[in-house]
Amino acid sequence: MRTAHVLTTRSDAPLCFIPELLPDECLYSFLQRIWSLNAFTLPRQFMLLLFGCDSHIPVLDLPTGLDALQRTLGERSPFKSADDLIDRATLYPYHRPFLSVSRDTRLVHLFRGTGGQGVKTLLGRVANGFGAQVIARYCVLCNTSTAKQYGCTYWQRSHQLPGVVYCTVHGIQLEVFSGLSCLSHRQQLQQSPWSSTFEPTYIARESHNYQLALMSVALLKANLYISDVSALNLVYISKILSLGFKKAHGKIDFPALTDALREYYNQFQGFEHRERLLSSSNHPLFWLYSTLRRPERSSHPICHLLLIRFLFGSIEKFLGTFNPSKNNMADRWRTQENDTLPRRTIVVPRHPRRDTTFSNQTEFGQATSERLESTSSAVAASRQTIEMTNPGHCHRVPEVIRLAIVTDLCAGLAIAEISKKHSVSISVAYRIRAHTPGLKQLHADHKIESERITHRQHWLALCKKLPAKGVTMIRATAPGAYAWLRRNDQQWLKDVCSTLPRALTSPRNSKVDWAKRDQSLAEQAQQFVRNERTRINRSRISATLILRHLNREAMVRANRERLPTLNNTLIELSESIEQFQKFRIDLAIDKLRRLGLLRSRWRIQRLAGLKNWTPSLSAYAISRGIDMS
- Which of 144-153, 182-191, 247-256, 273-282 has the highest average model confidence (pLDDT)? 144-153
Kindly state the average pLDDT of the residues 399-422: 84
State the amino acid at position 223 in one-letter form: N
pLDDT of residue 28 exceeding 90, the answer is yes
CB < 8 Å & 24+ apart, contacts of 286-289: 287/128, 288/254, 288/257, 288/258, 288/261, 289/254
pLDDT band, very low/low/confident/very high, at 595 (cuts 50, 70, 90) = confident
pLDDT band, very low/low/confident/very high, at 615 (cuts 50, 70, 90) = confident
Residues above pLDDT 90, as percent of the chain: 19
Query: Minimum mean pLDDT among 76-90, 119-133, 499-513, 547-561: which range?
Result: 499-513
pLDDT for 354 equals: 42
> How many whole angstroms separate alpha carbon 40 and alpha carbon 49?
11
pLDDT for 418 equals: 86
pLDDT for 629 equals: 60
pLDDT band, very low/low/confident/very high, at 150 (cuts 50, 70, 90) = very high
pLDDT of residue 93 exceeding 90, the answer is yes
Cβ(301)–Cβ(216) under 8 Å?
A: yes
pLDDT of residue 586 exceeding 50, the answer is yes
pLDDT for 378 equals: 63
Cβ(22)–Cβ(16) under 8 Å?
A: no
pLDDT of residue 319 exceeding 50, the answer is yes
CA angle 93, 98, 100 (to 5 degrees): 105
pLDDT band, very low/low/confident/very high, at 393 (cuts 50, 70, 90) = very low
pLDDT for 372 equals: 60
pLDDT for 371 equals: 64
pLDDT for 548 equals: 87
Cβ(403)–Cβ(450) under 8 Å?
A: no
| pLDDT (tens digit per residue) in 254-287 | 889 999 998 999 888 888 888 888 887 777 888 8
The mean pLDDT value of the chain amounts to: 80
Element (H, E) at 214: helix 208-222
- Tell me which of 14 and 310 has the higher pLDDT: 310
| pLDDT (tens digit per residue) in 495-544 | 888 887 765 555 555 578 889 999 999 999 999 999 888 888 888 899 88
pLDDT for 160 equals: 92
Kindly state the average pLDDT of the residues 157-173: 91
Question: What is the phi-psi region of residue 514: left when phi exceeds 0, alpha when psi lies from -120 to 50, beta otherwise?
Answer: alpha
Kindly state the average pLDDT of the residues 183-196: 78
Residues 6+ apart with CB under 8 A from 599: 589, 592, 593, 625, 626, 627
Q: Give 162-219 as a DSSP string.
A: TT--B-TTT-BBPEE-TTTTT-SSTT---PPP--SS----B--TTSHHHHHHHHHHHH
State the amino acid at position 531 in one-letter form: N
Kindly state the average pLDDT of the residues 392-406: 72
| pLDDT (tens digit per residue) in 355-377 | 445 455 566 666 666 666 566 66
> How many whole angstroms separate alpha carbon 361 and alpha carbon 355?
15
Q: What's the first-to-final CA gap in the chain, in angstroms?
A: 39
> How many whole angstroms separate alpha carbon 119 and alpha carbon 107?
7
> How many whole angstroms separate alpha carbon 299 and alpha carbon 379?
30
> How many whole angstroms separate alpha carbon 207 and alpha carbon 166?
11
> How many whole angstroms separate alpha carbon 233 and alpha carbon 264?
21
Peptide bond connecting 230 to the previous residue in cis, omega within 30 degrees of 0: no
Query: Minimum mean pLDDT among 215-219, 243-247, 323-327, 476-480: which range?
Result: 323-327
C-alpha 296 chain-centroid distance: 14
- Which of 9-13, 371-375, 391-395, 551-555 has the highest average model confidence (pLDDT)? 551-555
- Tell me which of 592 and 96 has the higher pLDDT: 96
pLDDT for 157 equals: 94
Cβ(76)–Cβ(20) under 8 Å?
A: no
Residues above pLDDT 70, as percent of the chain: 83
Q: Whole-model pTM?
A: 0.54
pLDDT for 366 equals: 64
pLDDT for 443 equals: 80
pLDDT for 2 equals: 42
pLDDT for 474 equals: 83
pLDDT for 202 equals: 84
Residues 6+ apart with CB under 8 A from 77: 18, 70
pLDDT band, very low/low/confident/very high, at 33 (cuts 50, 70, 90) = very high
pLDDT band, very low/low/confident/very high, at 331 (cuts 50, 70, 90) = very low
pLDDT for 26 equals: 94
